[in-house]
Amino acid sequence: MSGDTPGGGKTVFLTRTAAAIASAFLGRPGELEPDIEMDSLRHQAGTLPIPIVLEATRVASQASLDVTSLLDAISDEMSAAGKHRPTHSEIRRGLKNGRYVLLIDALDEIPESARRTQVLDLLKGVAGAAVFPKTRIVLTTRSARYTGGLKFGPELEIVEVAPLSSDQVMQLCENWARHRGRDRSYVEALMAAVSGLGNQIDSTTEDQALTENPLMLTAICMVFERYRNLPDDRGRLCELLIDDLCRSRNSEDIGRGWKLDDATKKDLLQRIALAMQEEGAQTWPVSRAIEISTTLISSTDKFISFAPKSM
């Protein structure tokens, strides 16, 4: 399953699918996602498959990329709750019998293109008839615009993530207002502001993603909550959002004696964005962000120290 923009709902889709299957296991089918046809997921024994959600980066982090490394990742995930750690033979048997559905998230977040291709080839091998033909796999990724010319077929069918419809935009705004305890007039004002923003920005696919993308629409609601209106361009919207996030998040470590102020947080975000731009990267290893953060925090003129004086 692919989509161009981050925040389009791919990860939420996987986690809600897993939760919906788990809910059906507990005798509450349709409670979360009534549109999922659970009967089509049942294997020959008549039971539902066990959903297993894995990040593609976790699979890529294994020393070698083969079926054994995938079994290791599955075993790690299944034993994360501290229960019985299944053996490779148990997992193999379950995969052969279609006992699991593998939900692999964010192939595009694997930074190295060669490693990304290796992970895809591994999953295609698992999905093909030769290894575990009864096992279903759902893999999410951003489109070829970000990942290059990866070949998914014929083992994997490509499904594009659709943008939010006007009804879904309205529903998200209403849910936001209800969560915030706002009245109907607030909902109407929010919807008018969202519609106005969409009309004022050029109707290109990229710009329309502002209101048709769940993550960006949530950001728009956050800005409206604070200012009760919206700017008429993407740049100003992002500026207000970053300002709000920097003000609303507490960034400090009392034990180590440091605290980032709002200006330094913005500086940190700009440094990371610039480094990504210079490298031409759409995704970045967390270790690189930590490296820049550590450099900034350790610089005495770039943070506010509040370490207590010795008694």
Query: Which backbone phi and psi does 253 adopt, to 5 degrees?
Result: -140, 100
* For residue 176, pLDDT beyond 50: yes
Map out the domains of the chain as residue ranges: 2-147, 167-248, 252-302
Distances in whole angstroms, Cα of residue 241 to Cα of each of 72, 97, 184, 213, 266? 40, 48, 24, 16, 11
> What is the spatial distance between Cα 145 and Cα 306, in angstroms, rounded to a whole number?
46
> What is the spatial distance between Cα 30 and Cα 6, in angstroms, rounded to a whole number?
27
Parallel, antiparallel or unpaired: strands 100-105 and 2-3: unpaired
Tokens coding 166: 């006007």
Query: Which backbone phi and psi does 170 adopt, to 5 degrees?
Result: -65, -40
* For residue 206, pLDDT beyond 70: no
> What is the spatial distance between Cα 170 and Cα 174, in angstroms, rounded to a whole number?
6
* 69 Cβ contact list (under 8 Å, min separation 6): 59, 62, 63, 122
Q: How confident is the model at residue 201 (pLDDT cuts 50, 70, 90)?
A: low
Contact 239, 32 (CB under 8 A): no
Instruction: Tell me, yes or no, if the pTM score tops 0.75.
Output: no
* For residue 308, pLDDT beyond 50: no
Query: Which backbone phi and psi does 51 adopt, to 5 degrees?
Result: -75, 135
Per-residue pLDDT tens digits for 60-119: 888 788 888 889 889 988 888 777 888 999 999 988 888 888 999 888 888 788 888 888
CATH of domain 2-147: 3.40.50
Per-residue pLDDT tens digits for 24-68: 877 776 666 777 777 777 776 678 888 899 988 888 888 788 888
